[in-house]
Structure formats: structure tokens, C-alpha cells
Amino acid sequence: MSQQRRTGAFDLSINHPAIKYLVADTDTVVDRMNAKLRDGSAKLVWDDKTGYIKSVLDLLDVPVESQVMVYTQTSLQSQYIKMDNPRAIYFNDRVSVGYIRGAGLIELVAQDPAMGSIFYTINETNVALPTAGRDSTNCLRCHLSWDTLGVPGMSILTTFPRKSDSDYANGGFVDHYKPIAERWGGWYVTGKKLPPRHMGNFPLFMPKPAPPPAPRASLDGLFNLDGYLTPYSDVVALMVLEHQGTFSNLVTRATWETRVGEESRIVEAADALADYMLFVDEAKIPAGGIEGSSGFTEKFLAMGVKDSKGRSLRELDLKTRLQKYPLSYMIYSPAFRAMPDEPKNLVMGKIDRVLSGEIKDVKYAHLTPELRAAIREILQETIERP
């Protein structure tokens, strides 16, 4: 049976008896927010310009500096999305929030320890007791595919400009493997320092090739920003979101394979997650590096746990790679900590063997002896072991 199943992704039904995704109880930060809204210990406050989005971000502890803007029409509410009315996305390690000015819904995806990505919407109407309702059926049209590893998950895309609105939208899935020059099609990209080549900031429709748009530190003056929380679509936030999306999908896949119980597939899923966390084959940042402009980099670093030397896995390099110490900061995330023991121990065991030098495969050559030693020291002081 295992030889006939597709490798690299969960290929059974989301309604498999060991999974029961559509009917399972969940425990996410959105579920906990709902409980507080219902018992009166928290409240969503309506704003006439921005609806509930400010209040949602506050209750979920999502930094506004994480804002990124996408203008390809790929959302559940695609009819509202235009270049001058993009979809804003905000996120932290546990939840992502989508907001479109003038649209009827705020969209959320939060991580559950057993089920992975859970989708919700909040109606943008000023009512007495607004809450987030679970909405899997509509969201899974885009958020369940081989790109999401066969589990409901994060889906971050780059799209090519089209000659007209009758042309098919081409593009692909993005994570930290994708070359920078092929990222961000359909996204605004802002920063103090941007790569010389990328696909962001181009018009949706271009009859003929155009020169790359000029770098922008903000979106001020590009279109009317009234109703948005910041004028940024930060390049560093985009790169962090891309890394985090596939990490979440890999964790869900490993968790689901464990619940089904086929040993070889648990090992395969854990191995893929370990390599991803170690940034094997990460696309290089071009010469000159990148620098954001929204304050996200500083906010992101401040959230990290530090060792006695002041080092943190949330320190960013941004010169040649994403992280200064190439082991994913998501190792501290609730999603990873809540993984079943079998795949988590396999992941941690492989990471330990790579960092100790026991595994010497060339694909780990980016982890110099100095980096391996530093990461091991950081982990020894900052992570709880079973």
C-alpha cells in the first residue's frame, strides 16, 4: 500500500476516520477569542473606516507592522480586490488575518494542534456580538491542494502579469525555496532596500514587457490608502510569511500521517520537515540584501527568546539568507510543540545529528561549524526538551 501512495503529501481524505477534519473540535487562538467575546471578557470594536480589523488584530496580538498587500484576485472575495484596493494580510506565528477595504468579510486562518489550518470569517457589519465563524468549505477550494501537501493549509502564490483579463493567470506556489526573481507577482513590495529583480509591483495586465517598477519604501501616493492601517507591504514580512506557510503545512502533514499510523510515511514527513527547518536549498537573497521599512523586522526580533549571549533564532540575516542562524524560529511555535512525540522526536533527532556534525551530507554545507555550534548553544538555553 505504501508504495502505491503518493509521496511528499498527505493523499488520503480529510474525512479519513483518523482525521475527520470537517467535524473535529478545534482549539485555536480564534476559538479562544470567540469564547472571550461570548462571555463578555473581550469585545470587537467597530470603526467606521476599517470595520473590525484593528480590534481583531489587537485581540489576536497580531502586529500591524506585518501588513503585506496582494492585488491578484485569488481570494474568496476576489471581486473586491484591485490594484487600488488590495487585500491586506497580517500575521503572527499562530494566525493570519485577511482584510479587504469595503468587503463583507474578514478572513482568518489559525493553527490547531491536531487539525492544522482552520479557516474562519467575521462579517463586517456593526452588530452587538460579532464572532468568527468557521468556514472550511469555501476556503478549501484554494487552500487544499498538492501545493499545500494534501492538507488544508497556507497557500502563498506568485502570478505573472497577463496581456488581458481573458488570459489565464499563470504563476506558482511560493516558499523559501522559490528564487527571489520569481516571487511576489501580484503583490506590492516595499522596503528601504529591495532585490534588483522580482515580480512585485507590476500591473496585473501588461500588453508588452515593461521595465521593473522603481523601488518603493511605502505605498504613499500610489493609490488612496484611506481605510488601510499602514502604507506598507513589507518585503521582510513577505519573506517570513512565505517561510511560515510551508512550515505550517509540513507540520500538519506530519501530524496527520502519524494519526493514520503508516511508519514509513511518518519518517518521510518528519525528514522533510527537519530539512525545511534547517533551510536546506533556501534561495539566496541577491547581492545588496534587503531591508524593510514598516518596522516589522524590529517587531519580529523583539518577540524572540534569547540565550545568555543575547542571540535569538528570530535574528534575521537579510544579506544572503532569511535567518542569521538557519534553524526555523517556528521551532518554538505552539504548532511544533504540540506535534505528536513520534514525528517531533524524529525531527529533533535529525536536527541534533546535523548540528553535531554526525550527518555530513553536502546539502547541509550552508551550516558552517560556527553556525552549528551557535544554534546548538541557543537551543540548549532556550528550548524545552521532553
Task: Give the pLDDT score at 2.
Answer: 41
Q: Is the pLDDT of residue 376 over 80?
A: yes
Q: Is the pLDDT of residue 161 over 90?
A: no
Q: Is the pLDDT of residue 153 over 90?
A: yes
pLDDT tens per residue, range 43-61: 999 999 999 999 999 999 9
Task: Give the pLDDT score at 142.
Answer: 85
- In this prediction, residues 173-197 reach a mean pLDDT of 94
Q: Is the pLDDT of residue 171 over 90?
A: no
- Band (pLDDT 50/70/90 cuts) for residue 164 is low
Mean pLDDT of the chain: 93
Helices in 61-158 by DSSP H: which ranges? 136-143
Task: Give the pLDDT score at 78.
Answer: 87
- Band (pLDDT 50/70/90 cuts) for residue 68 is very high
Q: Is the pLDDT of residue 97 over 70?
A: yes
Q: Is the pLDDT of residue 386 over 60?
A: no
Long-range CB pairs of 95-102 (<8 Å, 24+ gap) are 95/28, 95/29, 95/30, 95/60, 95/62, 96/154, 96/241, 97/53, 97/56, 97/57, 97/60, 97/62, 99/50, 99/51, 99/53, 100/75, 101/50, 101/227, 101/228, 102/227
Which residue did the predictor score with more confidence, 126 or 162?
A: 126
Quote the percentage of the chain above a pLDDT of 90.
Answer: 85
pLDDT tens per residue, range 262-285: 999 999 999 999 999 999 999 999
Strands of the chain, DSSP E? 68-70, 87-91, 95-100, 105-112, 116-123, 133-134, 157-159, 171-173
Could you tell me the pTM of the whole model? 0.95
- In this prediction, residues 63-82 reach a mean pLDDT of 92
